[in-house]
Amino acid sequence: MALYEKTAAELSAMLAKKEVSAVELAQDVFARTKAVEDKVQGYVTLTEESALAQAAEIDKRRAAGEELPALAGIPVAIKDNICTKGTLTTCASKMLYNFKPPYNATVMEKLAAQGVVVTGKANMDEFAMGSSCENSAAHPTHNPHDVNRVPGGSSGGSAAVVAAGEVPLSLGSDTGGSIRQPAAFCGVTGLKPTYGAVSRYGLIAFASSLDQIGPFGRSIEDVAMLLDAITGHDPMHDSTSVKTPFEGTVRAGLNADIKGMKIGLPKEYFGAGISDAVRESVLAAAETYKNLGAEVFEISLPLVEYALPVYYILSSAEASSNLARFDGVKYGYRTPNAGDDVIALYTKSRSEGFGAEVQRRIMLGTYVLSSGYYDAYYKKARAAQRKIREEFANAFDKCDVILTPVAPTTAYGIGAKTTNPLEMYAGDICTVSVNIAGLPGLVQPCGFDGDKMPIGMQLIGPRFGEQTLLNAGLAFEQASGLRNIIAAL
**Active site members:** 79, 154, 178
Distances in Å between the alpha carbon of 484 and those of 9, 263, 445?
11, 25, 10
At residue 244's C-alpha, the angle toward residues 462 and 444, to 5°, is 50
Q: CB of 133 within 8 A of CB of 412?
A: no
Q: CB of 83 within 8 A of CB of 104?
A: yes
Distances in Å between the alpha carbon of 364 and those of 132, 261, 282, 346?
20, 42, 34, 19
- Cα–Cα distance for residue pair 253/114, rounded to 1 Å: 19
- Cα–Cα distance for residue pair 85/103, rounded to 1 Å: 5
- Cα–Cα distance for residue pair 391/381, rounded to 1 Å: 15
Q: CB of 440 within 8 A of CB of 221?
A: no
User: What 3-state DSSP class applies to 82?
Assistant: strand
Q: How many residues does the chain have?
A: 489
Q: CB of 322 within 8 A of CB of 208?
A: yes
Beta strands in 323-411 (DSSP E): 401-405
Distances in Å between the alpha carbon of 210 and those of 50, 316, 439, 451?
32, 11, 10, 34
- How big, in percent rounded to 5, are the helix, strand and coil portions of the chain? 40, 15, 45
183 — phi, psi (to 5°)? -60, -45
Which residues lie closer than 8 Å to 37 by C-beta, 6 or more apart? 43, 166
- Cα–Cα distance for residue pair 482/447, rounded to 1 Å: 8
Distances in Å between the alpha carbon of 287 and those of 2, 112, 480?
35, 42, 11
Q: Which helix (H) or strand (E) holds 36?
A: helix 22-40
Return the amino acid letter for 324: A
Beta strands in 25-154 (DSSP E): 43-46, 75-79, 117-122
Candidates 478, 444, 453, 434; CA nearest to 193 is: 434
- What is the gyration radius of the CA atoms in the chain, in angstroms? 21
